[in-house]
Each structure stands twice: as C-alpha cells, then as structure tokens.
Amino acid sequence: MAKTQVSFNLNGAPVDVLVEPRELLIHVLREQLDQTGSHIGCETSHCGACTVDFNGESVKSCTLFAVQAQGAEVMTVEGLASNGELHPLQQAFMDEHGLQCGYCTPGMLMRSYRFLLENSDPSEIEIREGMSGNLCRCTGYQNIIKSIQKAATVINEAGRDEAKTA
Amino acid sequence: MAATAESLERKDKLEGIGCARKRKEDPRFIQGKGTYIDDIKLPGMVYGALVRSPHAHARIKSINKEKALALPGVITVLTADDLKPLSLHWMPTLGSDVQAVLADEKVGFQMQEVAMVIAEERYIAADGVELVEVEYEELPAIVDPHKSMDADAPIIREDLVGKDEVGHGKRLHDNHIFTWEAGDKDSTDAVFDSAEVTVKEEILNPRVHPCPLETCGCVGSFDKVKGQLTVYMTSQNPHLVRTVLAMLSGLPESKIRVVTNDIGGGFGNKVPVYPGYVVAIVASIVLGRPVKWIESRIENISTTGFARDYHGIGELAADKNGRIKALRFNVLADHGAFNSHVSATKWPAGLFSICTGSYDIPTAHVRVDAVYTNKAPGGVAYRCSLRVTEAVYLIERMIDILAQKLDIDKAEIRRRNFVQPDQFPYNTSLGWTVDSGNYEPALDKVLKAVDYEGLRKEQAEKRANGELMGIGISTFTEIVGAGPTKACDILGIGLFDSCEIRVNPTGSAIARMGTQTQGQGHETTYAQIIATELGIPSEQVQVEEGDTDKAPYGAGTWGSRSTPVGAAAVAKAARKIRDKARKIAAHLLEVSEDDLEWDIDQFKVKGVPDQARTMKEIAMAAYSNVPDGMENGLEAVDYYDPPNFTFPFGAYVCVVDIDPKTGEIKVRRFYALDDCGTRINDMIIDGQVHGGLTEAFAVAMGQLVDFDEDGNLLGNSLMDYFLPTTVETPHWETDYTVTPSPHHPLGAKGVAESPHVGGIPCFSNAVIDALSHLGVTHVDMPHTAHRIWKKLHELGASK
Amino acid sequence: MIPPSFQYHAPGSVDDAVALLSQYGDEAKLLAGGHSLLPMMKLRFAEPEHLVDINNIESLKGIREDNGDIVIGAMTSENALINSALLQEKCPLLPEAARLIADPQVRNRGTIGGDIAHGDPANDHPAIMMALDATFTLVGPSGSRQVAATDFYLGTFYTALEADEILTEIGFAPQSPNTGASYHKLKRKTGDFATAAAAAVVEMSGETCKTARIALTNLGPTALRASDAEAVLAGQVITDDLIDQAAQKAMETCDPAEDLRGDAEYKTHMGGEMTRRAIRTAVKRAKG
C-alpha cells in the first residue's frame, strides 16, 4: 500500500512521517518517532494506556490512524515536563505512590493533565469519573486519585501565587 | 542506648527499614522512560505473529504456507514440522509435563499455537497470519472437568497414552494428571462419622486470569559470531528461564543471557515459558536476526496461564459450639490441555494444604484430582501463593457456612477456633509448621474499627425493612516464601534466593538479586534494608535485578517470595559485609573487634563514642588500608535457603449493600488489617494492599474465563473480562499489627498476595451474608448483578 | 491488533463524501469517531477497502437552533453534547445520556451521528432519538431526505441509511414546559454497553401525564419504542401502580438477546426496572 506523508506537531516540535493509511498513531509514535512512553495494553480501546493529548483533548492513540493526525497538536508523556522541570502531576505521582509497575502511568498522566485543565478543583467522584477511561492493575487507583488531588492543589496554589505577583 | 536527636537524624538520613520513603524507580516511569519489552528495538529485528487454532479439539490435516510465504516481507512460516529436527516441537513445562510448542498433529484448546509467521514488519506478520491455511478435523471437546474421566471421554493427550505418570504419581485415566493427598483420611472419616454437626458445600474457585496491563513478549537475539543467545523477556524468573533454555537449545548456559528490564505487571502471568517465546527464540537462532514476539490482549487472556478452576467439595465436622473437629476437602482441578503451571515437584497442588487456615483443626484430609480438559493450560497464577487463594477461599467460606448452620456469630466462631498464641510454632494437621501468629487481637482491632456490633444491629433493622446488607469477615493465614530446598524444587532446582552486594571506595553500593520486581518496588525496599544493615543511605544503594549475566541465581518473584527469601539473602549478605567492616574498623581504631559496637552508620568504641569509623570511611579503607592477611574489597554474596515458609495473616471486614431490584452490589466499606511481620516501607505495603484488594474485588465480583460446550471462549477481551475502573473500585482502609517471623533475619514475612488471598473470601462472605437470612449458604463467584438477581428472583426476593 | 489495508479518503465536503460513497458502494465505510469501526478493523471483523474520513467536514459539526428546533450536526462529539449550554437548557436528556456512554477519551471522538447510524442495538442514542421524536437528515447522490428516528431502525446493524448516503443532521423540538426527561442505564461497569436502559420523556399537567415517550436500549434487535407502555400513562394520574403497569408493558416489548450481560429473563426484568426508574425521575423533574 502506498505510503503518505503526515506532518504534525509532537511535543511542540514539527515531525514528518511516511505511513500507510492503516498505521495506528500509537505505533507511529512508538516506532517511527521513538516515543515509547505511550503504551499498548489492549486492542479494543478499553485500557487507556495509549492516551495522548490530541488537539487539546484526551484521546486513545490506538484508535486513531496516523493519517488523522495531519496538522494536529500532539502531546505525549515525553512532553509533559518543560525546561527540565517535572509537571506537578509527575511530581505528585511520585510523592503519593501513584504508580507501581509504571505501565499505565503515562496514560494516567496524560489523561489527568487534560482533566485538571478541564476541571481544576475536582471532587473525588469527579476524579474517579474523569479517569474511568484508564485501567490500572497494580495500584487499586487510590493513590492515583491522591496524586491527582495533590497536583490539583499544587497547581491551584501556584496559580494563586502567580496571580498575586501579576 | 537511648536514641538522641543526633542519632535519630543519622537514622533518618539513611531512609532505611521503616521509612515510608518515595521510590527510587519512579523517575523513569513518570517520564515515559521505562524499558518494557515492546520498547526493545534491535538492528535488523523482525516480527513474529502466531497462527492459532479456532477449534478447542481437532486434528490438523494440513498446513499450507504458500500464500503467506508469497506475501512480500514474510520471511518464513514455522510449524511443528520445522521444529521437529531440533526436537523443539515439544518442551518441558514447569509442572513436569510436556507442552506442544507448535501444535503437533492435533490441537487441544481454542487458540492453541499452530504456526508462527516471521516478517520484516509487525503489520506484515499480522497479514501473513491471515494467509496461512490450516485444515482441521474437529473432535468432540471436553469442557466440563467432571466429564474428563468418563469411560467414553475423548483422549486429549494422545502423546501420553501408555504413560503411567506425568510427574506426580500414577494416572487412572488418559485424561487424568495426578491425585494428590495430604492428612489422615481414616481418622478424619472417623471424626466425621461421629460428629455432632457436619456441613458440606460445593464450592467453586472459577477460572480467572491475572491480566497484567502489559501482555507477554520477548525479543530473541542470537549472535552467530559469538554463539551467544540473548533473550529479552517478560519473565518473573529469568534464571529459571535461562536454565530451561539451556536444556531446550543445547547451548551451554554460559552462552545464554536473559534480560528482563521493566515489566508491566506480573501477578504470576509471567512465570511460565510460553510457546511464543520458544518459537521466536528458535527463529532468531535459525535466521541470525533478532525476532520480536508480543502477544495481543486477547491472546493473553485466552492462552497464557489462567488461575484457579478448582471445583471443591468442602466439609467440616464440629461440635455444637462450633468447635471444628475435622476438615475434609476434595477438589477436582481443571488444568487445561497441558499441566504447565509452576509446581514444586512434591507439591503438584501447590500449597493447598494450608487450608486449615488460622484454625486449630485436630484432623484433616485433603485430596486433589487433576484432569486435562480442552482449555488453555495453567492453574497457578494471579497472586495465589501457589493455590493458597483456593485453600483460603474454601476454609473461610466453610467456617461461615458452619456459623450459619449453628446460628453462631461469624466473628465469634472464628474466635472459638483460632490457633492460640501459646500454640506457636503450630503444627497443622496437614503437615505445616506455622511459625508465628496472633489472630485474635487482629480480629478484635478490625471489629472495633468498623463497629461490628453496630453493623449487625443495622443489618437486623434493614432486614426487617426488606433491605439487603451483608457483613463479610476473613481471618486468613497464608503461606509464602517458597521455599526450603529440602521441601521444594522446580525442575530439580532449589528455591533459595540470592543477593550480591559490592560497596564502592567512596561509600555507595550496588546490589543484585535473583528476584525480579514487576512493580513491587524492589529498587527501593532492598536498598532500604541495605541502608539499615550497612549505614549507607538507601539513596546511594543501586539495586538491579533481571540480567542473568550479572545477577546471582535465584528463582524469581512469585508467591510473595521476594521478602521472605530475597530480602533474607539481602540482609545476610549485608551482614557478611558488616562483619568484615567491623574487622577493618577495629584495625583502623586499633582496638579489638569485641570493643566495638554498631550504631546506625558507624562502629564506635564501647565507652569512647568519639572513637568511631563510619561505613563510608571503612569503605575507603577496604581499598587502601586493610589489616594484614585480609583481602581488599568490601562485598559479599549470600545464597539463602529459607528454613521454613512464612505465614503472613490478616483480618478483613467488608460491608455490602445489595439492590434487590437489579442485583447490583455496592461495597460500602472494606477494612483490611495485615500482619506481614517487620514492615520495610509502609507506603509500598499499602500500595500492595490496595492493588491486591482491587484484584480480589475483580475476581469476586465479575471475572470469569468461560467457554461454551464446544470449548469456544466467551468474553476473552476487555469488552467482557472484568477489569474494574476507578468508578467501581471501592475505597480501601488499611491497618496492621506486627508479629515478626521468628526465623527470618529481619522478621519480615511478605505481603503482596495476602490482600488477594484474604480479600476474595471476604467479598464473597459479605455477599452471601447479605442473603443468609433467606436461607442462602453459598453462591459461587463471580457475584455479578445478573447472578445475584437470579438467586433473589428464585427466592422471590427480587422486588 | 493490526487493521487490514485500505485506501484512505478525506473529503472536505458532504458532496465529495457522497460522491466517494457512490463510487465505492459496499467497499467503503465512513470514518466518523472511529471507536466502533477501528476495534472491528483491528480484530479483522471489518475489512473495508476504502475509508471515507468525514472528520474534516466542518458543516457536519455543531449544535444550533433553527426555526425553534434544535439541530445537531452528525459529527458532533459526545463531549460536545455534554458541554453544550444550549442542550443543558433545552434538552437535558441528551447530555445526560451522553455522559453514560463509554469513557472520557472515547467521548472526545465518538459522534452522535456514528452512534445513531451504526445500527448497533447496544448504542444509546437511538432510544434517546426515539424518545425525542427526532428526525434524521440523510444526504445521498439524489439529494436529501428526512427519516423519523422511529422509522430508521430496521434490524440489527440494518438501518434506512443507504450505502451511498450520509446522515448529516439530527433535528428535534426542544423540551416543552412541564416536561421531564431521564435515561436510566444498567451496566456491568462504567463504560459498558447497557444491560438494559430506558429513556422517558413525560409531559405533565399537575398530577396527570399529558404525553409520554418511552424507548428502550439493547433489549431487542434494535432500540425499541415502548408505545404500549406510553399508552398506559397518557392522560392518567401518575401513581406508583400505574408506573409499574407501564413497566410491565415495556417488559412485554422486550426481546433481548442472551449474552454475557444476562439472560432474557434478567434483561427483560431490568428493562422493566429501568423503565420504572426513568418514568419516576422524569415525572419528578417535570413537576420541578
């Protein structure tokens, strides 16, 4: 099958790939672009380990063809830290033991990143519902929720501090 | 010596045992820089994909590779015929059976491996699979293990016809694997015959699957020039795999390297050697190119080691006060088409005989009959401590059933039967010596925390109102830490474990073990142990596992054995180093060894505390200034053969509310108290408890690997196989007591499987307790809304 | 895990999309949200030779009012439905139902049009559309036509949509005053398809029901309009007994397939119970 060129922004930098139409975005990210942080845990779009930020929305990259990413803004876990500084979510997951084997973690981080941008002061129930597209087998979710709550607090305080100095 | 502020500060700096320090392994995971099997990319690497049988039982009439081979990018298609000349079409299992690597003339379960397509690219390999044409002649399938030993049952293992034994004693039928017994049948039967009260119940541990988030896979890479085989693999036990590969391939073990890197969850799923690994490795040797094989989720659930499938009949004999006099458990074990699960040679039913639990039961007899069926092979997996999940489920259910029959409170009946503190070490009637335990205070603590009396009152009120509320209790003792080499081995290899520590001149250390973490935090917890033993901050102790070229030999991580066995080796290796360090310190301080005492991170001269040398100073001296006759260096290796298993225990309570109109169950509260002896890191222990309880919840409430009558799998994707999300998963409350293991160097027992072992019967007991006033003594898992509603509807209680 | 090969087309207009469908007929499938199609392709249950990606057709997106009716573009995502202030105000049933579909990530891509047009009896929007008396606009080579939701579903995975047509819009009247609506969905876990679900839209006049529309999800070969149940309520004073009778009628409408979610007896009873709950909630909301 003839390949087609796809260009998009990945973690703030432009990339070009040559793909067959059937190539899934998750495979192109992991193999052509060497960003192996996003993971594959199923083939029925349930587990969420492949979650990335796609044009400002949380999307399962296993359920998108790479050709659909033409012109898109894509962010993966590799792009979460900025200027060498970890995102508050990354720090919070470490502080609150929100990971064990680490396999679901990139998906959890990318989903919670967008979730907190959509809902900056969520209740526990809202967090549970907001994260219901990401499966974990190790943690029982409890510390993941604590991590997200901690990150929300840190982000909101930083926001308040910034507002004060603005 | 009283702790001073100064010494506390020194201790805190170490972040050793007892410190809930953050994990050392986290930085790479939160940045997406872990190295899991599918992240491995080697030059020239090609991809393997398996062709699998659509039928549960069939003869293979022909395999046509033509179309597949004609697809551009397909390199080769391997079948059993291609493996025959290498005698690799069959392989030994960890259960002393043999298993077809690629189906040899017949298939015995749906999705059994028939051929592997090797192609330049993953996508082409998948296309190639569709083009391999296999002609089958279907045979009748055995799905119900109760039918396996029928006189007219079709023979599943034609390769075993005429074989008297498959590793574990005489076979009574072509589909029979073994019969295993423990205890005293005659005296047990006698007690039952004259007992005041007996209870009997059929109790199923349904077939489920561990389903870690990462599936299994490997990259086999053979260097033709050096004659060296390197295998990257999802394996919980890389050394055992290396030995098996040496046996299979004929390569010397010194030319084989198995590397595991990061594993995305194991739970026992990554213990066996699967056909996909073997074919990929063979292909890499034959082709001289690295071959990657990664299975899909459906392949994982359908063909890798399932768990349980134990069909039990439980019986207890007691007096009218609920004091148990005898236990009789008979189990029909469905192992699938091959006996592939890890089995210590003398223990083909694992550690099932721990089923007397936390109770003082004077006589017992258990019998397990294992049979083949036309289903995927397995049985021991999924946080089971080797069949301990099945054992504890049976006893915890049966004691509730006895309580219901006698109308004795379910907490009270347990008190009446607990092994008492003064009975330890306690010899169970099935042959185990339980080294320590303190059951009643644990139960008391938990009941107080949940206001048990208040809950029973509330339940009575709700019942009067037609509402369904249940309280489940589980007071479990389990057995982990396989194990003493005189008691158990796998393929002849003892179940010791090992640790090698090397301290650098500048005072940091590197340590390697024969265990293999899959998320349990070994890089942190082992470093914490070394920190406390050697006075080196855990932050400066580098821990590595999983490269058989570097790590000393071990049996890996399964059955919660890392802490009981691995951590013991760590402590002992560290103590060997400290013994040498003492000698060096004595030399440096010009005193005798007896004049020194160890204080957190330094040796001090007794009575002259400012005469001291820190471990850091001693480390440098080890390379520059050692006493006459002593070798330089500061390192040690310990191979630890545990004198016994360990026996963690716990007390759990679960409160559920059931909606009679839909059968839906809501877990209102779950309180878990665990006693794992000495606690290395509270944060990590709690994480293990949360995870084990969540998997227990999944098993009890919804997981099932099911088949239709032709052996076709039902519900083998995540559409149907129940993995709870954040929404379903209850909130977990954790608590603990500490009863150290008397024989373990640190007093630690291991904990990761306890919440699963103790959690499953706790959920079940709660659900059944909610229905007990309607006369229900038992309902099998999974407790789906559908099944509960059907039961209620049958009882006229579904409105 | 690996989909089969196909030729990919990404038309920029409805006309171009229709032209492609006419050209390729049965060999083509539309790519909307893709969260029903891609899993099927990855398991090789669907192997279309041509995929027509309509995600770039802006005219297919959006929620607006038109002549008093609410009109929703077929390519509007589930999350857009949930976040729409207009819908929350004028047709809260729709965001309520959308919230119960799949999970947050899927809802960013899944579209109302895809959910409606797939013909899967397990999808939620068909019953909602029946309960709203919605009309679908279908555009083909010979122009556009309107089909009522209640006439659209002909069988399992079989709708009135021809192979060369595209569903472009969904239209329905906003919720009238004194009306309450609700969707109750029983499922094995969050994100699952319905074991049984019922939508109820009830217009009240005091204690009396003026009109009722009740529709059921995953209880038959297609979504079902429970007209007999509606007839029980219409013009009557609402009592618990009456609601129960309506639920019984709804149960008689059910003809569910036995599967891993339950057997026919369970699903039918659950259809009744979801109907009961949907009516109760709708009535409560109608009374304010």
A118 touches chain B (CB under 8 A): no
pLDDT for res B609: 83
Which letter does DSSP use for residue B71 in this model?
Answer: S
Instruction: Show which subunits contact B, needing at least 3 CB pairs below 8 angstroms.
Output: A, C
pLDDT band, residue C149 (cuts 50/70/90): very high
Q: Per the CB < 8 Å rule, is A90 touching B31?
A: yes
Distance from CA of C3 to the nearest CA of A (A): 6
Which of A80, A101, A134 minimises the CB distance to B518?
A: A101
The pLDDT of residue B276: 98
- Whether the predicted pLDDT of B1 surpasses 70: no
Residue of chain C whose Cα is closest to the Cα of A41: C1
Which ipTM was obtained for this model?
0.98
Please identify every residue of B annotated as catalytic.
236, 383-384, 753
Alpha-carbon gap, residue B340 to B108, rounded angstroms = 13
Question: Can you name the residues that pair with B543 across neighbouring β-strands?
Answer: B511
Q: Choose among B108, B61, B115, B109: nearest CA to B89.
A: B115
**Position C200 in a domain:** yes
Work out the average pLDDT over B355-381. 98
Query: Are residue C69 and residue C26 in the same domain, yes or no?
Result: no
Q: Which residues make Cβ contacts (< 8 Å) with residue B301, sequence separation at least 6?
A: B209, B211, B705, B716, B717, B721
Q: State residue B719's pLDDT score.
A: 97
CA distance C234 to chain A (A): 37
pLDDT at B715: 96
Q: Would you tell me which CATH number, out of the four given (3.30.365.10, 3.40.220.10, 3.40.190.10, 3.40.50.620), belongs to the domain B392-481+645-794?
A: 3.30.365.10
Per-residue model confidence (pLDDT) at position B157: 98
State the DSSP code for B539: G
**pLDDT by residue (tens digit) across B637-652?**
999 999 999 999 999 9
Inter-chain residue contact C266 with B789, CB threshold 8 Å: yes
CA atoms within 13 A on the CB side of B702: 25
Q: What is the pLDDT of residues B175-208, one digit of tens each?
A: 999 999 999 999 999 999 999 999 999 999 999 9
Residue B187 tokens read as: 């005296």
Comparing CA positions, the residue from B235, B218, B156, B205 lying closest to residue B306 is B205
Percent pLDDT > 90 in chain C is: 100
Where are the extended beta strands (E) located within B452-554? 468-477, 489-490, 493-494, 497-503, 509-513, 541-545
Specify the residue for token string 């105000």.
Answer: C89
How far is the C-alpha of A131 from the C-alpha of A138, rounded, in Å? 15
CA distance A165 to chain B (A): 30
Distance CA C116, CA C164 (A): 17
Q: Is B80 helix (H, G, I), strand (E, B) or coil?
A: helix
- Do residues B648 and B641 make contact, with C-beta atoms less than 8 angstroms apart? no
Q: What is the mean pLDDT of residues B157-164?
A: 96
Tokens 């839909």 belong to residue: B662
Q: With a cut of 90, say whether residue B2 has pLDDT above it.
A: no
Residue type, B499: C
Superfamily for domain range B37-139+215-263+270-303:
Aldehyde oxidase/xanthine dehydrogenase, a/b hammerhead (3.90.1170.50)
> Residue C274's closest chain B neighbor by CA?
B662
Q: What is the DSSP letter of C3?
A: P
Each residue's pLDDT tens digit, B331-355:
999 999 999 988 877 899 999 999 9
Backbone torsions φ then ψ of A37, nearest 5 degrees: -65, -40
Per-position b or e across B204-228, b if 16+ CB within 10 A of its CB:
bbbbbbbbbbbbbbbbbbbeeeeee
pLDDT confidence tier of residue B620, bands split at 50, 70 and 90 = very high
Residue C1 lies in a domain: no
> Can you give the residue ranges of every domain in chain B?
5-34+497-640, 37-139+215-263+270-303, 392-481+645-794
What pairs with residue C220 in β-bridges? none
Contacts of A119 in chain C (CB under 8 A): none
In sequence order, which ranges of C9-102 are alpha helices (DSSP H)?
Answer: 14-24, 37-42, 78-83, 85-90, 93-99
Neighbours of A71 (CB within 10 A): 11
CB of C4 less than 8 A from some CB of B: yes
Q: Are residues C223 and C280 in the same domain?
A: yes
C108·A67 Cβ contact <8 A: no
Rg (CA), chain B: 28
Task: State the alpha helices, DSSP H only, in B330-469.
Answer: 388-406, 410-417, 439-450, 452-464
Amino acid residing at A16 = D
Average pLDDT along chain B? 97
Does any domain span residue C2? no
CB contact under 8 A, B726 and A144: yes
| Model pLDDT, residue C272 | 98
B663 chain-C contacts, CB cut-off 8 A = 266
- pLDDT at res. A165: 81
φ and ψ at C178, to 5 degrees?
Answer: 60, 25
Asked if A63's CB is within 8 angstroms of C39's CB, the reply is yes
Residue B425: is the preceding peptide bond cis (ω within 30°)? yes
Sign of dihedral through CA atoms B522, B528, B532, B538?
positive
Q: What is the pLDDT of residue A163?
A: 86
Q: Where are the alpha helices (DSSP H) in B560-623?
A: 568-589, 615-622
CA distance C35 to C31: 9
Tokens matching residue C70: 């609410």
- For the segment C209-255, what is each residue's pLDDT rounded down to a tens digit? 999 999 999 999 999 999 999 999 999 999 999 999 999 999 999 99
- Work out the number of other CB atoms within 10 angstroms of the CB of residue C240: 9
For residue C25, the Cα-to-chain-centroid distance in whole angstroms is 25
Residues C83 and C34 in one domain: no
CATH number of the domain bearing residue C32:
3.30.43.10
Burial class (CB in 10 A: 0-12, 13-18, 19+), C4: middle
Using CA atoms, how far apart are residues A17 and A37, in angstroms rounded to an integer?
Answer: 18
* Inter-chain residue contact B725 with A20, CB threshold 8 Å: no
Measured at the alpha carbon of residue A151, what is the angle toward residues A150 and A152, in degrees to the nearest 5? 90
What pLDDT tens digit does each residue of chain A (166 aa) get? 689 999 999 999 999 999 999 999 999 999 999 999 999 999 999 999 999 999 999 999 999 999 999 999 999 999 999 999 999 999 999 999 999 999 999 999 999 999 999 999 999 999 999 999 999 999 999 999 999 999 999 999 999 888 888 7
Q: What is the pLDDT of residue B575?
A: 98
The answer to whether C287 faces chain B, any CB pair under 8 Å, is: no
Tens digit of each residue's pLDDT (9 = 90 or more) over C190-203: 999 999 999 999 99
Sorted by sequence, the CB contacts under 8 Å of residue B689 that are 6+ apart come out as B672, B674, B732, B734, B751, B754, B755
Cβ distance of A60 and C106 shorter than 8 Å: yes
The first and second tokens of residue B795, run together, are 């009882």
Q: Are B148 and B142 in contact (CB under 8 A)?
A: yes
| C104 lies in the same domain as C36 | no
Could you tell me if C161 and C112 lie in one domain? Answer: yes
Q: Which of B123, B662, B724 sits opposite C270 (nearest CB)?
A: B662
Specify whether C108 is located in the same domain as C157.
Answer: yes
C232: CATH: 3.30.390.50
Q: Report if pTM > 0.90.
A: yes
User: Does residue B613 contact residue B588 with C-beta atoms inside 8 Å?
Assistant: yes
pLDDT for residue B714? 98
The pair of structure tokens assigned to B475 is: 């007071």
C260–B contact, CB cutoff 8 A: yes
How many residues belong to chain C? 288
Distances (CA, A) of B431 to B327, B356, B489, C70: 14, 10, 18, 75
Q: Which two tokens stand for residue A122?
A: 């969520």
The contact set of B with C (CB < 8 A) is 122-123, 126-127, 130, 296, 298, 661-664, 702, 706, 714-715, 720, 722, 724-725, 727-728, 784-786, 789-790, 793, 798
> To which H or E segment does residue B30 belong?
helix B26-30
Domain encompassing residue C252: 179-287
Count structural domains, chain C: 3
State yes or no: cis peptide before B85, omega within 30 of 0: no
Shared fold status for B5-34+497-640 and B392-481+645-794: yes
User: What does the pLDDT average to over B456-471?
Assistant: 98
Residue B219 CA to residue B217 CA, distance in Å, equals 7
**Residues C89 and C29 both lie in one domain:** no
Q: Which residue, C53, C75, C91, sits at the end of a domain?
A: C53
**C1–B714 CB contact, under 8 Å:** no
Chain A neighbors (3+ CB pairs < 8 Å):
B, C
How many beta-carbon pairs below 8 A join chains A and C? Answer: 81
Domains present along chain A, CATH in parentheses: 4-79 (3.10.20.30), 88-165 (1.10.150.120)
Give me the percent of chain B exceeding a pLDDT of 70.
Answer: 100
Contact between B357 and B342 (Cβ < 8 Å):
no
Cβ atoms B439, B651 nearer than 8 A = yes
Which residue's entry shows tokens 């795999």? B241
Neighbouring residues of B439: CB distance < 8 A, sequence distance ≥ 6:
B358, B414, B418, B419, B475, B477, B649, B651
Tell me how crowded residue C49 is: count the other CB atoms within 10 A of its CB: 13
In the predicted structure, residue B622 carries a pLDDT above the cut 90: yes
Three-class secondary structure of residue B164 per DSSP: coil
CATH topology (fold) of B5-34+497-640: Aldehyde Oxidoreductase; domain 4 (3.30.365)
Question: A166: distance to nearest CA of chain C, Å?
Answer: 31
Residue type, C223: A
Range scoring the smallest mean pLDDT among A78-87, B335-344, C122-131, C256-265: B335-344
Pure H helices in C91-174:
93-99, 104-109, 112-117, 125-131, 149-152
